[in-house]
Amino acid sequence: MFNYFDSKSIPSPDNQGGINYSRWNDPQTDQVIEKAGTIPDWPQRKDLYCQAAQRVAEGASHIYLYQRFDLDSYRDRMQGWIPNGWNNDGWNAYDWWVSK
């Protein structure tokens, strides 16, 4: 969440190009995300990240206008390949095998 929604990740010369491309800038969200990153207790950290996600969702930082068309194909001898929503075909390459 820090990379995408913390204001310190808004692309600038200081950070040499962060990836907060939506330019989401909310001090309260920053505070919650940064606090979550310092807490080793998973349930507490999860609650903080959920709070931050709720603020971002309510603020409508992203409004999706279209979805890229993506076509995946493979031979039926290839086993274990599963498509995913991140457009990363090799994400589960460790599960692939070729049947005879």
pLDDT of residue 43: 96
pLDDT in tens, the chain (100 residues): 888 889 999 888 888 888 888 888 999 999 999 999 999 999 999 999 999 999 999 998 777 787 777 767 778 898 998 877 776 778 889 999 999 8
Give Cα 73 distance to the centre of its chain: 25
Two structure tokens written together for 45? 């950290």
Rg of the chain, C-alpha, whole Å:
19
pTM (predicted TM-score): 0.59
d(Cα 7, Cα 4) in Å, to the nearest integer?
9
